[in-house]
Amino acid sequence: MTITNALAGIAVDDMSEALEFYERLFGRPADARPMGDVAEWKLPGGGWVQIHTDGDRAGASSLTLIVDDIAEELGRLALQGMTPVAKSVGDFFKTAKFRDPDGNQIVFSQPQPGTY
């Protein structure tokens, strides 16, 4: 078997509230709404991020998004009124963590030169 792609799923409690947050996070509306309780964004590398209504699991998801320029992303998100709950710089990555309205963790991560 060869794995060729991935779909990351994030459980949310309130789809309307989550859509507002994730549309600001991605800077655009969802690319697909295959069902009323599902919204999906396609990433440039081919993967997808999906939010779906699942009240029992809402708040327990984690998503890491790899970016080319974390400062640029943080500036864009700040214009949307979004600020990280934590930032760090390590030997391999610079990261900024956000929480959606349900408490799910979204991490923006920029690889340090020569590490990824």
Q: Provide CB contacts within 8 A for 2, sequence distance 6+.
A: none
For 91-113, the pLDDT digits (tens) are 899 999 999 999 999 999 999 88
First-last CA distance in the chain: 25
- Does 50 map to a domain? yes
Residue 33: give the domain boundaries. 7-111
- Does 18 map to a domain? yes
- Does 84 map to a domain? yes
Q: Residue 86 has what pLDDT?
A: 97
Six token digits for residue 85: 């709950």
The count of structural domains within the chain is 1
Q: Tell me, what CATH number does 42's domain have?
A: 3.10.180.10
Residues of the chain scoring pLDDT < 70? 116
Looking at the chain, how many residues does it have?
A: 116
